[in-house]
Structure 1
Amino acid sequence: MEDIRVLIYEDNRSLREALCFMLESTEGFLVAGAYEDCTGILRQVREHGPDVLLMDIDMPHLSGIEAIKLVKPKFPQVNILMLTVFDDDERVFEAIKAGATGYLLKKAPPGRILEALTEIYEGGAPMSPAIARKVILNLHTTPAHVEEIARLTARELEILQLLSEGKSMKMIADSCFIAVHTVRTHVKRIYEKLQVHSVTEALAKFHKR
């Protein structure tokens, strides 16, 4: 697998440098760039061609959420992982609606951040457990028809339940005693059966069943 190119936006210098060191010293990751604010984000994304943006919310000049709204229309293929201290409903849902693909709290251990970057690169939507719970309890979407949920196998329902608890794909694989690629295959089938395109949408339908 090619290195995952990560572009970092974090105004705390010590944390920014720590994130750079962590990624540069881990095989499979490449720091495409690191900035203290988002004022030049469109030019920087164009120049660096990142796979994932690792972004804080509260930054000077332009917030992370405002930056997402600039990036997603022009670079829809770029995934965005929020890494922030904020876990209030307003910011969580504003970030997700703007186009964030994942949402972690800064208290997450380094290993979880690396795992989340890999998940998001491979099509997942990593979230801290507390954030995943908020999404399930508060995200308003059209409920799925009963027959949609009925199409899911017992294993698929089990995986959806584990996703709703904030488990990563690796954790689900360990819990179910199956390979990670098998988990991804199940998730793909869940998407097809529920007619959704993301983990967030699937969990919303699962919760509203």
Structure 2
Amino acid sequence: MKTLAEFAQSICLVIEDNRTTQFLKNVVTAAFPGISVHCTQSVKEAQTWLHDRSNTSQKTPLYLALVDLGLPDGSGLDVVRLLKEKEPHAQAVVVTIYEEDKYLFEALSAGAVGYLLKRDDPAFLSDILKRILHNEPPLSPSIATRLIEYFRQPEKNSTVKTELTTRERETLTHLARGLTVAEAAGTMGLSAQTVASYVKVIYQKLHVSNRAEATREAIRRGLV
């Protein structure tokens, strides 16, 4: 657990296009006075900055990143995954306009520790961010409610958890982490056709119809 003083001597990476960069910068500096903020406006710019940091021996600690999902050149989830690889001590918090389960569960499975909505009051967002100091996930109230409601739901169509084979669990894990069928096939050393057949069986067994629902089931089962 980091202290407020440690955060004040660290960097926060903000990945957001130029429309609301100042908004997010104000939110984080209000939460952690003294913290340095580095702003990037695209996936590529953030990735370049992180790669450059990895080649630097002495650097200011990066403990926090605020990541928007809808960036000009792609999804902020690609940055969240790279943060998990390059900066394991950094906590990635998604700050977005998207409230749908699809985005929420994909963000959490990619490695985000929090999910905030831009429509919330800036002062309120700053207060929620401070929860990181107590190892509490920063979540907008409506998002926290959605998570609680989801995990309170009984498993679909059965009181017994449907068992998956080892290969099916492996496939589901890769899907939940955002890999395409082709990428999962390459990682598993199988053909894309074979992995696609696993996906079809997984959907049938879990009674799901899309990747977002499959991702939720992967999280429920502790696979990601």
Question: The TM-score by the shorter chain falls in which range?
Answer: 0.5 to 0.7
Q: 1:121 to 1:54 in 2, by over 3 A?
A: farther
Show the counterpart of 1:59: 71
What TM-score results when the alignment is normalised by the length of structure 1?
A: 0.59
Aligned-pair CA distance for 1:126 = 1.4
**Aligned ranges for residues 95-174 of structure 1 at < 5 Å?**
95-139=107-151
Contact 1:41 1:71 in 2 (8 A): no
Q: 1:134 to 1:24 in 2, by over 3 A?
A: closer
Aligned-pair CA distance for 1:99 = 0.6
Q: 1:31 aligns with which of 32, 36, 39?
A: 36
Contact 1:32 1:50 in 2 (8 A): no
Matched, 1:82 2:88: no
Show the counterpart of 2:13: 7
Q: 1:43 to 1:116 in 2, by over 3 A?
A: farther
Long gaps (5+) in structure 1: 144-203, 205-209
Matched, 1:41 2:53: no
CA RMSD of aligned residues (A): 2.7
Sequence identity (%): 26
Q: Deviations over 1:9-58 (max 9, x none)?
A: 111x2411233245456762423301111213344243663211011111
What TM-score results when the alignment is normalised by the length of structure 2?
A: 0.55
Contact 1:32 1:48 in 2 (8 A): no
d(CA) in 1 for partners of 2:106, 2:74: 15
Long gaps (5+) in structure 2: 54-58, 156-219
Q: Deviations over 1:104-135 (max 9, x none)?
A: 11011111221222212442101112111221
Q: 1:25 to 1:133 in 2, by over 3 A?
A: closer
Moved more, 103-112 or 29-38: 29-38
d(CA) in 1 for partners of 2:74, 2:20: 19
Q: Deviations over 1:113-166 (max 9, x none)?
A: 2122221244210111211122123359xx9xxxxxxxxxxxxxxxxxxxxxxx
Select the structure of larger CA radius of gyration: 2
